[in-house]
Amino acid sequence: MAEATFTDANFDAEVLKAKGLVMVDFFATWCGPCKMMAPAVEKLATEYEGKVKIGKLDVDENPEWSGKYSIQSIPTTIFFKNGEMVDQLVGFQSGEVLKEKIEAYK
């Protein structure tokens, strides 16, 4: 699987210190819309492997970064470019919408 797993422990190194575009899917295992969005995230991670870092962060297991970015609703997708937050989408997003954002920022 091409998608990354982000955690409180590796977020700084994997996301904030990463060069280029990183897409982080803030989710929870019990969240219905998150489960509906998961296949699109996985597909994009495979499609953009080596070009864009795409991964997930479980908000229940990793409260530190979820809190720092004030994640109130899930799924929330945040795009980072060279460590800076450039965009945020709240709620279920289709693969097409996510791909448009990736293309806009990569």
Could you give the residue numbers annotated as active site?
31, 34
Pairing outcome for strands 4-6 and 53-58? parallel
Alpha helices in 1-87 (DSSP H): 11, 32-47, 63-68
Q: Are 4 and 54 in contact (CB under 8 A)?
A: yes
Max intra-chain CA distance, the chain: 32
In the chain, where does DSSP find H-type helix? Answer: 11, 32-47, 63-68, 95-105
